[in-house]
Amino acid sequence: MKGDLVRQSSDGTLTSPKRTFRPRHYLMCEPTFFDVRYSINPWMDPTRPTSTQRGISQWKALHDLLVSLGHTVDLVEPVAGLPDMVYAANAATVVDGRALVARFRHLERADESPAYLNWLQAHGWEPLQATHVNEGEGDFLCAGDVILAGTGFRSEPKSHDEAQEFFGKPVLGLTLTDERFYHLDTALAVLDEGEIMYNPRAFSPQSRGLLAERFPDAILADEADAGVFGLNAVSDGLHVILPEQAKRLPDQLRERGFEPIGVDTTELLKGGGSAKCCTLELRPVRSVRRG
Ligand code: ARG
């Protein structure tokens, strides 16, 4: 198994901390019915042609990559008429074997909740649908002992309290202010326990302050990388899968001992999502894993 990687930089010093790969369990949904027929975020333009076929091949490449890295990937059956169902991350937050299922802000996505809830139920994850608007791992990211929670566009502040109660873990609320980065996972990625990368410009001044205080060593994404959804990344503690269009982030990640892997998700970006949006992490009971 890969891991514990230390790299030597060009000046000969060993700068990277050790990294540990841990296999994860993900849930994904093939984009069989992928399309952009409505617009609920600034990336979605229904007048621009989309190719379901290209969406499927890009999704499949991501799926196969995760499997080849050693992860378990389960699949939920896609439902006709739910073109956004491929963005599995939004459907729930699963921590310690407990699943809080999304309550979507937009009616267009409402029927995704029962589809995911049924899958989670059938596979023993004890799901409960959230009472307040809550878009799952789109807005709730597990960072070690704390859950980072976004609000401003989709999940409502009350859903943060609900998640804190449900998971029995502290939830740190963060306010998003740039509509291009409407979900937390478009503006921030958890790389490892307590380590993140983010785009400060996507947050309110107060949230920026909270992040700087709590994560002083975080990787900061520049405007160009954030703009190609470079932060919509999936990390297993060693590999960080992110859009291949991100230019600086790969080096920033390598400097810290991560192994960035670029993927092409340009078709799926037409719906406003990339690698992270397509993967929902299923964290088992009494997980000792963090992040
Ligand atoms: N079209 C979807 C929406 O606007 C895209 C969701 C992308 N997912 C994500 N985790 N950011 O809801």
Query: Residues 115-131: pLDDT tens digits?
Result: 999 999 999 998 999 99
Predicted confidence (pLDDT) per residue in 26-38, tens digit: 999 999 999 999 9
Between CA 197 and CA 215 the distance in angstroms is: 9
Q: What is the biggest distance separating any 2 CA atoms in the chain, rounded to whole angstroms?
A: 56
Strand partners, 165: none
Q: 273 CA to middle of ligand 1, Å?
A: 5
Looking at CATH, the fold of the domain delimited by 22-281 is given as L-arginine/glycine Amidinotransferase; Chain A (3.75.10)
Q: Give the residue whose CA is nearest to atom 9 of ligand 1.
A: 277
pLDDT at 285: 86
Query: How confident is the model over 153-181, as pLDDT tens digits?
Result: 999 999 999 999 999 999 999 999 999 99
- Ligand 1, residue 36: give the atom nearest the CA: 1
* CB neighbours of residue 168 within 10 Å: 10
Residue 18 banded pLDDT, cuts 50, 70, 90: confident
| 149 vs 175: CA distance, rounded Å | 8
Q: Which tokens belong to 5? A: 């990687």
What pLDDT does residue 288 have? 52
Q: Give me the percent of the chain exceeding a pLDDT of 70.
A: 92
- What angle (nearest 5°) sits at the alpha carbon of residue 84, between those of residues 244 and 188? 45
Which residue has its alpha carbon closest to ligand 1 atom 7? Answer: 273
Is the C-alpha dihedral spanning 280, 84, 90, 153 positive or negative?
positive
- The residues annotated with a catalytic role in the active site are 183, 277
Distance CA 125, CA 231 (A): 28
Give the per-residue pLDDT at 4: 44
Identity at 263, one-letter amino acid code: V
> Hunting for tokens 């995911």 — which residue is that?
116
The backbone torsions φ and ψ at residue 99, rounded to the nearest 5 degrees and listed phi first, read -115, 120
Q: Whose CA is closest to 77, among 35, 118, 30?
A: 30
Atom of ligand 1 nearest to the CA of 106: 12
Helices (H), 142-279: 157-167, 205-214, 223-227, 249-255, 266-269
In this prediction, residue 126 carries a pLDDT of: 85
Taking residues 7-30, report their average pLDDT. Answer: 71
Pocket mutation for ligand 1, best pick of 90, 148, 154, 190 (most atoms within 8 Å of C-beta): 90
- Unique residue bearing structure tokens 């600034």: 42
Q: Residue whose CA is closest, atom 8 of ligand 1?
A: 277
What is the residue with the minimal CA distance to atom 1 of ligand 1? 271
Cβ < 6 A, ligand 1 pocket:
40-41, 44, 84, 87, 89-90, 109, 138, 183, 185-186, 271-273, 277
Report the alpha-carbon distance of residue 133 to residue 9 in Å, rounded.
Answer: 46
Interatomic CA distance for residues 75 and 4, integer angstroms: 30
Where is 64: in which H helix or E strand? helix 52-68
